[in-house]
A and B are shown apart, each in its own frame.
Chain A
């Protein structure tokens, strides 16, 4: 664990060091290039705002009204039928839609069942092994102004579903012995 912590605290400064050393050796005007590139960041963040805001408000309405809980209750039997433990169903359903909601749900499950329980391990694995599909598509397509997403959403959601099943199978095999 200490090795992992060390690596993760050293890596960013080391990348910066490496880039700056190489650029200085090549006699590049590093500071000027940095400022030039950084300017783009402000534009990008501002142009992202409406995309994020729109998506987050819509998700919040769905959650706040209680409709999302109702929908999860509705699809629960289906997920249970394919072998998803009922405690994990809400997390599995929300993982692709909202990152913050999924994280708080994972925390809740770990708190309730204990980090070393089967459910705790499964929630941990599920949280770590996929990302928030809807957020990623919103940010990346939004930032560069892509209006037609093509098959991206469909493929992303199918992959999420496979990921959920994979997590359950793997955690069951690894930790049940």
Chain B
């Protein structure tokens, strides 16, 4: 699926440019975005090194396990495939916590660690059920305080920059809950398909 989407985006773009005389823009976009991707990846090094280092200490100190114990009832329901005391749980929870506080920088390294642990559990290069649930919750965004948006609103002299916090939290809740429900429906469909 992702192969098709990836190829089609480029194919459609190039073919479209042939008929609309925008080939110059395509060339420019090509090299600018490649540059941007390298800058972004290199920029990720600082964040990844720092948070993975700190998280390793937290893990060794048993803090991840305490976090898991705290939220056990919730996460075991969301991720029935993951054994209760597995390190994946700790990383999933740290990722969710970081997201809730708007620490996007910290959330990514912990999320990647969580994926790694889940891959160890499934042992294949196919997305496992828990991985899909985890990512779908992430894509629906868990932010409580949308700091970037508030900053933009302040920049354009909003009379109440934080006014949208309430609606954002409400919309986030709806999206996350629907994401979990849709995820469950698709999982049930997969199970039914495999049976027949």
Is the CB of A94 closer than 8 A to any CB of chain B? no
Is the CB of B167 closer than 8 A to any CB of chain A? yes
Q: Kindly identify, within residues 33 to 59 of chain B, every residue whose CB is under 8 Å from any CB belonging to chain A.
A: 33-34, 36-38, 40-42, 44-45, 47-58
A36 CA to B57 CA, complexed, in Å: 10
Q: Kindly list chain A residues whose C-beta atoms are within 8 Å of the C-beta of B62.
A: 26
B132, B145, B157: residue with the most chain A Cβ atoms closer than 10 Å: B132
B153 engages A148 (CB within 8 Å) = no
Is the CB of B158 closer than 8 A to any CB of chain A? yes
Closest to A20 in B: B57
A170 engages B132 (CB within 8 Å) = no
What's the least CB distance linking A159 to chain B, in Å? 4
Is the CB of A81 closer than 8 A to any CB of chain B? no
A15 CA to B94 CA, complexed, in Å: 11
Per DSSP, are chain B's interface residues mostly helix, strand or loop, or mixed?
helix
A65 in contact with B131 given A131-B138, A166-B175 (CB within 8 Å)? no
Is the CB of A145 closer than 8 A to any CB of chain B? yes
Q: Kindly list chain A residues whose C-beta atoms are within 8 Å of the C-beta of B182.
A: 155, 158-159, 162
A155 in contact with B149 given A23-B61, A56-B37 (CB within 8 Å)? no
A30 CA to B54 CA, complexed, in Å: 9
Q: Kindly list chain B residues whose C-beta atoms are within 8 Å of the C-beta of A133.
A: 139
Q: Kindly identify, within residues 140 to 174 of chain B, every residue whose CB is under 8 Å from any CB belonging to chain A.
A: 140-141, 143, 145-149, 152-153, 156-164, 166-168, 170-172, 174
B34 engages A28 (CB within 8 Å) = no
Per DSSP, are chain A's interface residues mostly helix, strand or loop, or mixed?
helix
A150 engages B132 (CB within 8 Å) = yes
Q: Kindly list chain A residues whose C-beta atoms are within 8 Å of the C-beta of B22.
A: 64-66
Q: Kindly identify, within residues 48 to 94 of chain A, every residue whose CB is under 8 Å from any CB belonging to chain B.
A: 48-49, 52-68, 70
Q: Kindly list chain B residues whose C-beta atoms are within 8 Å of the C-beta of A141.
A: 115, 127, 131, 135
Closest to A21 in B: B61
Q: Kindly list chain A residues whose C-beta atoms are within 8 Å of the C-beta of B55.
A: 37
Q: Which of A33, A45, A167 contacts B57 (CB 8 A)?
A: A33
8 further interface pairs, Cβ-Cβ under 8 Å (given A40-B48, A44-B52): A19-B63, A65-B14, A65-B26, A136-B139, A153-B5, A156-B179, A159-B175, A170-B167
* CB<8 Å pairs between A and B, sample of 20: A4-B145, A11-B103, A15-B54, A34-B57, A38-B49, A38-B50, A46-B41, A58-B10, A60-B30, A65-B16, A66-B20, A66-B25, A137-B2, A137-B135, A137-B139, A146-B126, A149-B2, A150-B190, A155-B136, A160-B139
Residues of B in contact with A (beta carbons under 8 Å apart): 1-2, 5-7, 9-10, 12-14, 16-17, 20, 22-23, 25-26, 28-30, 32-34, 36-38, 40-42, 44-45, 47-58, 60-63, 101-103, 106, 108-109, 111-112, 115-116, 119, 125-127, 131-132, 135-136, 138-141, 143, 145-149, 152-153, 156-164, 166-168, 170-172, 174-176, 178-179, 182-183, 186-187, 190
